[in-house]
Amino acid sequence: MTRAPEHFAETVKEVNRQLGLSQEELAHELDVSFSTINRLENSSTVPFKLARRQFEAFCEWMTEQGKLELDNKDIT
C-alpha cells in the first residue's frame, strides 16, 4: 500500500532532521535529484516504487548504523 504524500513527506523531513542532512545531501545519498527530494518533502508527489525502495533501504541502513530511529511502519 502506498502511503499518502503527506505521510511520506513527514518521514523524509524526519530523516533529514535526525541525520542532519540537507535535501541536496539526501538526494545525493539516494542518487536522485534535489527536485525529487524537494517535491517529496512538499507533498507534491507520491514517490515512485524505485525511489521509495531506495529511501526504505537507506533508512534501514542508517537504522542499523544507529544513526536513525524510525519504526518500520514510518517508511513503508
For residue 1, pLDDT beyond 50: no
Sequence-distant (6+) residues with CB within 8 A of 5 are 40, 43, 44, 45, 46
Question: What does the pLDDT read at residue 43?
Answer: 84
The answer to whether the predicted template modeling score (pTM) of the entire model surpasses 0.75 is yes
Question: What does the pLDDT read at residue 75?
Answer: 61
Could you report the per-residue pLDDT of 15-74, keeping only the tens digit for each? 999 999 999 999 999 998 999 899 989 988 777 888 888 899 999 999 999 999 987 655
Separation in Å, CA 64 to CA 9, 23, 25, 43, 49: 22, 22, 20, 27, 22
Domain 5-75 matching CATH 1.10.260.40: the answer reads yes
